[in-house]
Amino acid sequence: MSRGEEAVACFGDIKGFTEGGQDLYIRMAASELDHLEKKRHSSKKKLIAFIVGSTFLVVGMTIVALVSFIWKKKLRNQEMTKRNQRKDCDNGGGKNDMELPIFDLAAIANATDNFSNNKLGEGGFGPVYKGILPDGRYIAVKRLSKNSGQGLNEFKNEVILIAKLQHRNLVKILGYCIQENENMLIYEYMPNKSLDSFIFDQTQSKLLDWHKRINIIHGVARGLLYLHEDSRLRIIHRDLKASNILLDNNMNPKISDFGLARSFGGDQIDSKTNRIIGTHGYMSPEYAMHGRYSIKSYVFSFGVLVLETMSGKKNREFCHPDHDLNLLGHAWKLWIEDRSMELIDELESDLYTLCNVLRHIHVGLLCVQQKPEDRPNMSSVVRMLTNESLLPRPRQPGFFTDPLEAVPSSSKHATCSVNRVTITLLEAR
């Protein structure tokens, strides 16, 4: 034991130091020694607490920074996804081709009560649901079905085309949603649903007097005139039918469902396809038989719609005890026999209204003539519907009988077959 150790051992009040290689011993009171020891331990604790606190602070800041980075990355990915969705729906077009807002899936699910108990109907695209936005606006949500005959191309086509169209007789699209394998179109809500739910229902048809029916025909004609001649693009609908005419609160018509529509160039007058798309009973002969279509092809569809609205009968489902003609053939037969009054729905009217109704039947027959060149264009149709000038004599309509009988097939179809949906026929050429 050294001298210093002996001194400390003997005297608890001696503190040893080393200075310049020399041992130095100082006698101190025991209380001061305890104070120094406590101070040393306290400093050690503070150092440990500082180190631990600093460590926690660094770790916390690292975690916050990491969470912030992940969150910002997620937001960037979401924004990039939305931009890609816009670009994808733009189908390679310019910046001005997309002018529609994107709706969030959660917002649409909330607006439609998670797509439950509010289904308005279902078409070739998929089911349509009624919803209400937080601002109180009612909407119609068309949701692409996984089993739909139409697909993403038709979805994109509808978004691109209808976004560029603005007319009082075209349904207004509010936006779209592409998220989590969902593809949805959001439209303004039409409280009176579609034209077919009125004219083909014995009870509902009584709510459509002649004035309302004529107003609907004129509205559809104006909408088609806009598509064919007055819009930024020359649009042909390719699936014009009663179920695609929606009615607003005042029974004003709006053309809907542009998934199958196509645009023509300024000088283009017709086109040809191997993919026959449309609804039997509304397709023109040149399109159904040869895949050739033009603006006049859909003047034919409009003519069918006019005769259905006036008669309250479906072209494809029409049956008569005296013959096997479809509605077009029956209307033609009555016209050449000067008995067109027998075609119309039994609604009360005065003589002037009946003459106006017969004029609309006459225009309908002009629109469904066999040859496209014999049919009027929509500007002529609108003039003929709205003035009292003399009308030319119509020629025999196309598809004088059931159109399917004119198409070669391995199976025989009944004259009064039912066909309510859009169909696609693929024919080799």
pLDDT, one tens digit per residue, over 149-176 is: 566 777 777 777 777 788 999 999 899 9
Average pLDDT for 387-392: 90
> Mean pLDDT over all residues of the chain?
79
H-run or E-run covering 30: helix 30-90
Average pLDDT for 222-227: 95
Q: Identify which of 413, 146, 426, 159 has the alpha carbon closest to the alpha carbon of residue 277.
A: 426
Looking at the predicted structure, is the pLDDT value of residue 101 above 90?
no
Rg (CA), the chain: 39
HSE-CB of 155 using CA atoms within 13 angstroms = 26
Q: Which of 79-83, 221-225, 354-358, 362-366 has the lowest mean pLDDT?
A: 79-83
The band of 14, judged by pLDDT with boundaries at 50, 70 and 90, is low
Q: Identify which of 177, 178, 175, 183 has the alpha carbon closest to the alpha carbon of residue 145.
A: 183
Annotation says 239 is catalytic? yes
Q: Give pTM, 2 decimals.
A: 0.70
Residue 85 tokens, joined: 């969705």
Looking at the predicted structure, is the pLDDT value of residue 197 above 90?
yes
Domains in the chain: boundaries? 3-56, 105-188, 196-426
CATH top class, domain 105-188: alpha beta
CATH top class, domain 196-426: mainly alpha
pLDDT at 28: 59
| pLDDT tens digits along 271-330 | 667 677 888 899 999 988 888 888 899 999 999 999 999 999 999 888 888 888 999 999
The CA distance from 170 to 71, in Å, is 42
β-pairing verdict for 14-19 and 127-132:
unpaired
The band of 89, judged by pLDDT with boundaries at 50, 70 and 90, is very low
pLDDT at 16: 55
Q: Are 112 and 134 in contact (CB under 8 A)?
A: no
Selected catalytic residue, list 104, 230, 239, 270: 239
Looking at the predicted structure, is the pLDDT value of residue 346 above 60?
yes
Looking at the predicted structure, is the pLDDT value of residue 188 above 90?
yes
